[in-house]
């Protein structure tokens, strides 16, 4: 841990003072084989704390606990929808009460700025629990008329929980992504085994403590940190009824293949390479600001960031100059440092990957309008916000999801040309259009193959809105009322009336 702990809350220092364990069946336990791993502060490259590494044996213990908690007559199975609603609301209040603590843990483990973690990630996590608290009492079915001559039936549908859900989440929004899986799952009455990313397990473990404090029954939510072997054990386990995964498309494909062994249900929120289209008639100042936000938000480690910038030729130089100037004005630094706008990449591996893409682009003939292929600081996994021009559509920097503060800029002439280029990707998670002509904005937005399309804005969001992707950006939708569909089974019941 950093030598300067003066900014840390006493609760954070206390949390980091002892090795972290697994949460299984309402108890904090060591891994059966005693394995641990180090979680590292990416701003300082120093170890924060040791964390238990769940093996397949530990995963099995967690699945058994979750199954026992799900099956009647467990306390969870007997909890009424109203009681679940009240429980969810209590959890949201507890997250708010510990917001500063959770934000500091997120900044230490992930590297993002404390303010961004508190005002964005933690606040949204609390709101998720409160929003879904309202849905717990509204899991309704329908009655359906049947047309059978000379007989009378009463037919209706029921929404029922799927069972045991494995939630596997990434490192870019550790607390928030954990809540994306836990909240709709338990709203519907499922039980959960959460595997946080090995780079960022701390807020998931602290959330586990808060869930127990709120009164979540033992076994309803289990937390099993670990690496890919832990995730694979969850996906392969026959006692898991559904896998909910957020992460890379490559890993998503492996999960889908593995889940086919017993046809467990799968929802996937995967990679993106979002096009951000600026027409010449756009509000250029707003479009530049949106391109900066869309490209460099969350250190560029966000799957819906607008990493492919397409600008109509008449204003291309103006937009590139504006985005480059804004990128150069962004200060990178420790998430606790006053005046820092952007933190580090989450890990050494990610740091090397991002710099490698920048170097590869330069070697292929691209031009850096802002940024550098060199690390700006001696310590920490920092990357300067980078804008790359003279890019061709076949360059790796243009086709691959980099997951760092790297934006490419390409000029275009016509609407048809830019729509074809924007859709020329295996991904379809997000896209954006900037134009003062609302007809152009809506028309082009409708032609873009993406799950979320922003018009004259970027990153506008709310817990009420569904999110998910087209093509290889995933299966299913999260959040909003649609977010419950992937966590319930639809049962049809037919009764003959005699």
Give the active site residues: 269, 303
CA distance 221 to 245: 16
Structure tokens at 131: 């929003």
| Contact in structure between 246 and 180 (CB atoms under 8 Å) | yes
Residue corresponding to tokens 């740091």: 351
Cβ–Cβ under 8 Å, residues 234 and 240: yes
Tokens standing for residue 371: 């940024």
Contact 234, 222 (CB under 8 A): no
Distance, CA of 24 to chain centre: 24
DSSP characters over 147-199: --TT--EEEEEEEEE-SEEEEE--SSSHHHHHHHHHHHHHHTT-EEEEE--TT
Give the tokens for residue 415. Answer: 């609407």
73: cis peptide before it, omega within 30°? yes
Radius of gyration of the chain (CA): 24
Compute the distance between CA of residue 189 and CA of residue 111 in angstroms, rounded to an integer.
34
CA 17 vs CA 1, 12, 20, 23: distances in Å: 10, 9, 9, 18
Instruction: For residue 46, give every residue at least 6 positions away whose Cβ sits within 8 Å of its Cβ, in sequence order, or none.
Output: 1, 2, 40
Residues in the chain: 498
Report the C-alpha gap between 212 and 181 in whole angstroms: 17
Residue with tokens 């990449």: 345
């Amino acid at each position: 841990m950093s030598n300067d702990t003066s900014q840390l809350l006493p609760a954070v220092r206390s949390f980091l003072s002892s090795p972290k364990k697994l949460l299984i069946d309402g108890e904090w336990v060591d891994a059966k084989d005693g394995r641990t791993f180090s979680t590292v502060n990416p701003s300082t490259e120093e170890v924060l704390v040791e964390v238990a590494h769940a093996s397949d044996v530990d995963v099995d213990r967690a699945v058994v606990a979750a199954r026992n908690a799900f099956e009647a007559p467990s306390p969870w199975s007997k909890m009424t929808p109203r009681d679940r609603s009240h429980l969810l609301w209590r959890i949201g209040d507890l997250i708010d009460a510990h917001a500063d603590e959770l934000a500091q843990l997120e900044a230490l483990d992930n590297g993002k700025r404390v303010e961004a973690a508190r005002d964005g990630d933690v606040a949204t996590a609390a709101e998720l629990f409160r929003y879904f608290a309202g849905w717990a009492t509204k899991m309704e079915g329908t009655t359906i008329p049947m047309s059978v001559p000379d007989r009378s039936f009463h037919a209706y549908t029921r929404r029922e929980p799927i069972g045991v859900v494995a939630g596997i989440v990434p490192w870019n929004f550790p607390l928030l992504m954990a809540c994306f899986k836990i909240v709709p799952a338990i709203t519907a009455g499922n039980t959960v085994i959460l595997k946080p990313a090995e780079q960022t397990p701390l807020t998931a473990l602290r959330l586990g403590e808060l869930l127990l404090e709120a009164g979540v029954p033992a076994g309803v939510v289990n937390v099993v940190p670990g690496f890919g072997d832990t995730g694979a054990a969850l996906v392969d386990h026959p006692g898991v009824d559904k896998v909910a995964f957020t992460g890379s498309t490559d890993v998503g494909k492996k999960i889908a293949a593995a889940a086919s062994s017993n046809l467990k249900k799968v929802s996937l929120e995967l990679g993106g390479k979002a096009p951000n289209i600026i027409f010449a008639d756009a509000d250029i100042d707003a479009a530049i600001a949106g391109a900066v936000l869309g490209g460099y938000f969350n250190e560029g480690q966000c799957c819906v960031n607008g990493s492919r910038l397409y600008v109509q030729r008449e204003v291309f130089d103006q937009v590139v100059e504006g985005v480059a100037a804004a990128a150069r004005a962004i200060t990178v630094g420790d998430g606790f440092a006053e005046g820092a706008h952007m933190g580090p990449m989450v890990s050494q591996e990610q740091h090397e990957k991002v710099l490698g893409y920048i170097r590869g682009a330069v070697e292929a003939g691209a031009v850096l309008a802002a940024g550098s292929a060199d690390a700006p600081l001696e310590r920490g996994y920092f990357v300067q916000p980078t804008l790359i021009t003279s890019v061709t559509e076949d360059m790796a920097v243009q086709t691959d999801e980099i997951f760092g503060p790297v934006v490419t800029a390409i000029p275009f002439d016509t609407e048809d040309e830019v729509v074809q280029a924007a859709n020329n990707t295996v991904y379809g998670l997000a896209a954006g259009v900037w134009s003062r002509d609302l007809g152009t904005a809506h028309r082009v937005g409708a032609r873009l193959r993406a799950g979320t399309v922003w018009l004259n804005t970027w990153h506008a969001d709310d817990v009420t809105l569904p999110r998910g992707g087209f093509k290889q950006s995933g299966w299913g939708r999260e959040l909003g009322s649609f977010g419950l569909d992937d966590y319930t089974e639809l049962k049809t019941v037919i009764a003959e009336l005699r």
